[in-house]
Amino acid sequence: MSLVRSSHAAQHMEHRTRVTCRIAGKVHGIGFRFGIRDLATRVQLTGTVRNVADGTVEVVAEGPADALETLRAFCYRGPDGANGTRVEISEAPATGEFSSFEIR
């Protein structure tokens, strides 16, 4: 039974990717993290978003390509009042470490 579950989990992970986004600019104090969390929850991504001491916002998210593309678009656009001046995005295989999406 556990082999079947492990096989299913492995297949599920094959269709997921991990992205890390770092957004610089006017991104603190305007609801950027809450917007990211709400979007990620809506499109069923898992991961975290946090303010970083250097003034950036960091997002680590895992999910299917279409949901991650929606997240990428939001990182560039941001919520009302945002003025992101730089967005850095990297991709890696999903690790499965997250079970939900949280603000940290």
Whether 33 sits among the annotated catalytic residues: the reply is yes
pLDDT recorded at residue 83: 84
Categorize the per-residue pLDDT at 5 as very low, low, confident or very high, splitting at 50, 70 and 90: very low
Catalytic residue among 5, 33, 50, 83: 33
Q: What is the pLDDT of residues 20-39, one digit of tens each?
A: 999 999 999 899 999 999 99
Question: Does residue 13 surpass a pLDDT of 80?
Answer: no
DSSP state of 100: S
Q: Give the C-alpha separation, 42 to 82, whole Å.
A: 21
* All domains of the chain in start order, with CATH: 2-103 (3.30.70.100)
Largest Cα span, the chain: 51
Question: Does residue 2 surpass a pLDDT of 50?
Answer: no
Whether 16 sits among the annotated catalytic residues: the reply is no
Catalytic residue among 51, 77, 86, 104: 51
Q: Is 83 left (phi over 0), alpha (psi -120 to 50) or beta?
A: beta
